[in-house]
């Protein structure tokens, strides 16, 4: 049992970290960021940290192969794009991980799986075994069979549920924004929020849209909700941008830190 992680500076000593990355960070023109992300994950893995990656991007990655310019609105086409894109996405991750001799293990879940006791137990057992074998689990929403699960920001929530499942020491939420702001950061008067106490309800925040690329499904609101969910289970959360992932895992002072609540014994 390790001591709780209570600050950014302690992040390098975390035993188990869940990293969540969004579609806009690893697909389309930003697909090249996979290599940078893998560099950071591999560095943490090399110092003994157990790393779990929750990666969106299956639908966005599959879109070009279906000759789609925009994210499909109908469920069947979303499922088809996910079926194609998940295969390509995992291939890209594994190709990059090969540089470090790290093997990825694909874990496809829905949030509903983690609410079903039997499915939850199976997922937990599989994930624990993968980590014990020094495999890097890559978790995604099972979009090909999902129905209502394909919805606004679900993978942020999924990342929080995975953090609960494997008792993570830290949840690192990555997006295309470097921190949480009191309003959309491009708006006048936006102020960066560096720390969020567990009791803080963040009533001062004006939430904006879902991001800058149009391929993702999350936004500040879903990340705050996911952060609060993880924090309530005793896992602190750091929110920052994908291009700062290496610095975040190295313990640099950046992003927005959500303090965890105290879990009674």
Longest dimension (CA), the chain: 53
Q: Which residues are annotated as a binding site for substrate?
A: 56, 143, 155
Q: Which residues are annotated as a binding site for ATP?
A: 20, 175-176
d(CA 198, CA 253): 19
Q: Are the C-beta atoms of 219 and 208 separated by less than 8 Å?
A: yes
User: What residues does 174 pair with on adjacent strands?
Assistant: 240
Q: Which residues are annotated as a binding site?
A: 20, 56, 143, 155, 175-176
Q: Are the C-beta atoms of 216 and 60 separated by less than 8 Å?
A: yes
């Amino acid at each position: 049992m390790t001591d709780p992680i209570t600050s950014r500076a302690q992040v390098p000593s975390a035993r188990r970290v869940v990293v969540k990355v969004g579609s806009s960070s690893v697909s389309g023109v930003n697909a090249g960021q996979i290599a940078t992300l893998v560099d950071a994950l591999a560095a943490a893995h090399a110092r003994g940290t157990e790393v779990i990656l929750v990666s969106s991007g299956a639908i966005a990655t599959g879109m070009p192969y279906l000759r789609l310019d925009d994210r499909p609105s109908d469920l069947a086409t979303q499922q088809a794009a996910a079926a194609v894109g998940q295969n390509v996405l995992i291939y890209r991750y594994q190709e990059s991980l090969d540089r470090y001799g790290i093997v990825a293990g694909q874990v496809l879940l829905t949030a509903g799986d983690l609410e079903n006791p039997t499915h939850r137990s199976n997922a937990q057992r599989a994930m624990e075994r993968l980590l014990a074998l020094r495999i890097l689990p890559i978790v995604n929403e099972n979009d090909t069979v999902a129905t209502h699960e394909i919805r606004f920001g679900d993978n942020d929530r999924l990342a929080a549920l995975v953090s609960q499942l494997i008792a993570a020491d830290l949840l690192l939420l990555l997006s295309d924004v470097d921190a949480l702001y009191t309003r959309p950061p491009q708006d006048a008067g936006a102020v960066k929020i560096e720390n969020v106490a567990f009791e803080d309800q963040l009533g001062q925040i004006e939430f904006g849209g879902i991001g800058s690329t149009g391929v993702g499904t999350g936004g500040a609101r879903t990340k705050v909700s996911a952060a609060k969910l993880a924090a309530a289970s005793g896992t602190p959360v750091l929110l920052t941008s994908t291009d700062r992932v290496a610095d975040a895992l190295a313990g640099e002072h950046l992003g927005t830190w959500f303090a965890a609540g105290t879990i009674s014994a």
